[in-house]
A and B are shown apart, each in its own frame.
Chain A
Amino acid sequence: MNRQVLTDIVPRVDFAWWETALMRTGFAMLLLSRFPPLGSLPAPGAELRFPNGVAKWIDMSWVLDPAGYSIITILLHAAAALYITGFAFPLSSTVLFLCYLVTGTLQNSLGSISHYYQVMTLMLLGQSVASWLWAASSKNRLATWIRSPATLHSFTTRVTLQVLAGNYVLCALTKLVNSKGAWIWNSQYMPVQYAKIQAQHYYTTMQPADLGFGGTLNELCTQYPWLCMLVYAPGLIVELLTFLMLFGRVWLLIIGLTVIAMHVLVDITMNLGFPQHQWIFFLYAVNLPFWIVKGIQNLPLGLRRHPA
């Protein structure tokens, strides 16, 4: 087999300016709507017993003060507006990253690690580092600041997709490492987790969760271990194969829809919702505007094909 053939099947996707503009707009809105409220952070003056991440070295507790939090939200909104325009992208993505870094770190510094904001923050980190590198290596260094270069945004979008794929594959690899390769076999014990999750829902609000189809499915899974494995094994396989979305537009669409479907199923069967992850895959991987435009261009109307 010609090795070059396999290496060459990794295409470089060039995203059009309007695609990345729509992605930035959608992501900025997601960042604004999902930003941790002050009520979800430790109280001002509360002891951060288990400082997490950079909080081990830098005191960020000033953000817990309402005045400090106000400064962060003003910065967040200003940076989000700039981020949408695409101008001064290294600055806007870095400020957004720092806003999420500070609040996410503080939230995780009481001893419990939540996995709610990591993906969004890692995407911002990737975009920030990539845009600084792009700016530093660009022939016209001013272009990053006074224009909104399509090539920069196309590059940071490719970086974002790699970061997303990397973290989903990492999630699958951790499952395989921690279970010593027996994750699918051990998923027969998922009803134990299900019982725990339902109890945790109840003791969070003192309201019983509406189990719906998930309750019926769990009862069946409790009786039939093979059904458990059949229901949950695809989740691991989907995570493991997320890297396929780096193989071009069609794979992006397929994997994007598959990951969204996986999250919907996890939400139904386990009451574990990750709406922000679904939105991210909808924006960056499914990329509906591209397929609508491509569909229109393919209509026999004599319209010019988009070069992307």
Chain B
Amino acid sequence: MDLLQPVLGWLRAWPWFVASIVLGFLIKENFPFSHWPMYSNFSRESGYVYVINGAGEPIAAASLFETAPRLRRQFERERKAESMRARNRKLEKSGAEIDREAATHLLKRLAQRLSPEERKAANGLGLVSARVRMDEKRKITVSERTVAMIGFEGIPYTPPSQEGEPSKETL
């Protein structure tokens, strides 16, 4: 109890410090606030995604004005939204179906950024989901599966601005 008073004294002396912590915890991921959840827990398993063309060859995320970490987070967000939608409509969907619909949403958005020439060269887009696992002997293995493939029919071209480089952030 002896320490409680001085600690409270410090906290009273640092209202902006206390407010930063409290607001971050309460508001969470709403810009500019954050509770900084990145790398807040580790497990034996993690994952990433990447985009492929119609021939199954990887496409640099930067050429789609994205980064691979951003694509992974967008895919995760789409999955959550799809899962919620299915639950609200009382639809029974498998995990693979939810993944496919989420990936299709994401791929269609990315496809909008490809010019007619780029679309012709790509001949379709796909999303690959990779899982990284560490086994009991600390050996790391990667397994991949193609979650969805799309064509370009009916997808409008929304050219991204060419001004400036896409951001390089990774977190």
Any B CB within 8 A of the CB of A140: no
Question: Is B44 a contact partner of A38 (Cβ separation < 8 A)?
Answer: no
Of all chain A residues, the one with the shortest Cβ separation from B3 is: A6
* With A45-B158, A112-B74 as contacts: A203 and B5 at CB distance below 8 Å: no
Rounded to whole angstroms, the CA-CA distance of A258 and B134 in the bound complex is: 32
Q: Is A237 an interface residue (CB 8 A)?
A: no
Q: A225 and B138: CB pair below 8 A?
A: yes
Instruction: Tell me which of B88-96, B117-125, B159-167 binds A.
Output: B159-167
B31 touches A104 (CB 8 A): yes
Give every chain A residue within 8 A of B61 (Cβ-Cβ).
203-205
- Residue A246, interface by CB 8 Å: yes
Whether B46 contacts A193 by the Cβ 8 Å rule is yes
Is B20 in contact with A167, judged by CB distance below 8 angstroms?
A: yes
Name the A residues within 8 Å of B17 (CB-CB): 162-163, 165-166, 169, 243, 246
How big is chain A's contact interface, by range? 35 or more
B86: Cβ under 8 A from any A Cβ: no
A43 touches B158 (CB 8 A): yes
* Docked CA distance A116–B67 (Å): 13
Report if B116 contacts A (CB, 8 A): no
Does A59 have its Cβ within 8 Å of any Cβ on chain B? no
Give every chain B residue within 8 A of A171 (Cβ-Cβ). 36
Question: Chain B contacts of A243 at CB under 8 A?
Answer: 14, 17
B34 with A115: CB separation less than 8 A: yes
Is B19 in contact with A52, judged by CB distance below 8 angstroms?
A: no
CB-contact partner of A170 in B25, B134, B140, B142, under 8 A:
B25
Secondary structure dominating the interface of B: mixed
Stretch at the interface among A76-84, A142-150, A175-183, A248-256: A175-183
Known contacts A116-B167, A186-B41, A192-B134; is A166 also within 8 Å of B161 by CB?
Answer: no
Chain B residues 61-86 with CB under 8 Å of chain A are: 61-62, 65-74, 76-78, 81
Nearest B residue (CB) for A104: B31
Number of residue pairs spanning A and B whose beta carbons lie under 8 angstroms apart: 266
Give the contacting residue for B60; candidates A38, A52, A205; CB below 8 A: A205
Q: Which of B20, B38, B112, B160 gathers the greatest number of chain A CB atoms within 10 Å?
A: B20
CA distance A43 to B157 in the complex (A): 10
Known A100-B32, A171-B36; contact A246-B14, beta-carbon cutoff 8 A: yes
Q: How far is the CB of A238 from chain B (nearest CB, A)?
A: 14
Interface centre among B18, B38, B105, B169 (most CB of A within 10 A): B169
For B4, the closest partner residue in chain A by CB is: A3
- Complexed CA–CA distance, A173 and B51 (Å): 35
Residues on B with beta carbons closer than 8 Å to the beta carbon of A43? 65, 112-113, 158-161
Chain A residues within an 8 Å CB radius of B68 = 199-204
Shortest CB-to-CB span from A237 to chain B, Å, is 15
**Is the CB of B143 closer than 8 A to any CB of chain A?**
no
Q: Which residues 131-164 in A have Cβ within 8 Å of B in the complex?
A: 159, 162-163
* Across-interface contacts of B55 in A (CB, < 8 A): none
Partner of A49, one of B69, B105, B112, B165: B105
Q: Mark B16-30, 1 if CB is under 8 A from A, else 0.
A: 111111001100011
B: residues with CB less than 8 A from A are: 2-3, 5-6, 9-10, 13-21, 24-25, 29-48, 50-51, 58-62, 65-74, 76-78, 81, 105, 109, 112-113, 130, 132-134, 138, 140, 142, 158-167, 169-171
- Can you pick out 10 interface pairs between chain A and chain B where the beta carbons lie within 8 Å of each other? A38-B164, A52-B30, A110-B70, A126-B16, A166-B16, A175-B40, A186-B41, A196-B47, A206-B59, A225-B138
